[in-house]
Amino acid sequence: MNARVAVVTGAGSGLGRVIAEALLGAGYEVALAGRRREALEKTAAGSPSALVVPTDVADPASVAALFAAVREHWGRIDLLVNNAGTFGPSGTPDEVEVEDWLAAVGTNLTGSFLCAREAFALMRTQEPQGGRIVNNGSISAHVPRPGSAAYTATKHAITGLTRSLSLDGRPFGIACGQIDIGNAATDMTAGIATGARQADGSVRPEPTFDARHVADAVLYMAGLPLDANVQFLTITATTMPFIGRG
């Protein structure tokens, strides 16, 4: 049986790199998508199963080129991990520049839609039909941090996208689930461990957890047969301020 084919966005750093490396280690053929070729090549580490495709997920033409490369190289796609994202602008709504809001929406929400759109089109027409989409929603799909209107709004919207993809994918064997991650330790979240602003205005360090557990969770979601689906999975540092009042 041929190896399964995955596309991981934001694969040049952070969780995207960890997830992509785990998929490669599990025998997947993986298209690595991200803005910086050098970073993607570091993730690929010379693996013959990796395809480096520099991509701007907010650009429809760039996303179309990514999936055209996947189609040409492997002829199908079994898994899309919609991971690319940006924290975007920080501040109260009146302090957020409109251009920065639009940029965050472009990457986090429109980018996820564009990739899902291309993956969906290939999954419904390939033989055998079907595949799986896993969206990175974040804890911010549930609750905001102070000064995070753009990031939080886009992540709440990802939940709606996940639900719609799940429903629309049913006739074609396309499953869609969402992983909501809280405080996985990466370079991008290093500041949280030293001090993060809380709802009461204080700044306190927050616990983190090994990002490899996120990759293990994605592997579990991806490994299910298409007649089973993890709709929503939340994985956090056990004592992070999320459940209850802190």
The pair phi, psi for residue 16, each rounded to 5°, is: -60, -40
Task: Give the separation between CA 46 and CA 234, rounded to whole angstroms.
Answer: 32
User: Of 151, 157, 158, 208, which one is the catalytic site residue?
Assistant: 151
CA distance 140 to 125: 34
d(CA 132, CA 140): 23
Contacting residues for 87 by C-beta, under 8 A, at least 6 apart? 104, 148, 151, 188
At 163, phi and psi to the nearest 5?
A: -65, -45
Helix (H), strand (E) at residue 131: strand 131-136
35 neighbors 56 (Cβ within 8 angstroms): yes
Of the candidates 211, 149, 177, 187, the residue with the CA atom closest to the CA atom of residue 82: 177
Q: Is 151 a catalytic residue?
A: yes
Q: Are the CB atoms for 213 and 184 separated by under 8 Å?
A: yes
Give the single-character DSSP code of 144: P
Report which of 90, 134, 130, 132 is spatially closest to residue 112, judged by C-alpha positions: 134
The total of other beta-carbon atoms located within 10 Å of residue 60's CB is 15
Residues with a known catalytic role: 151
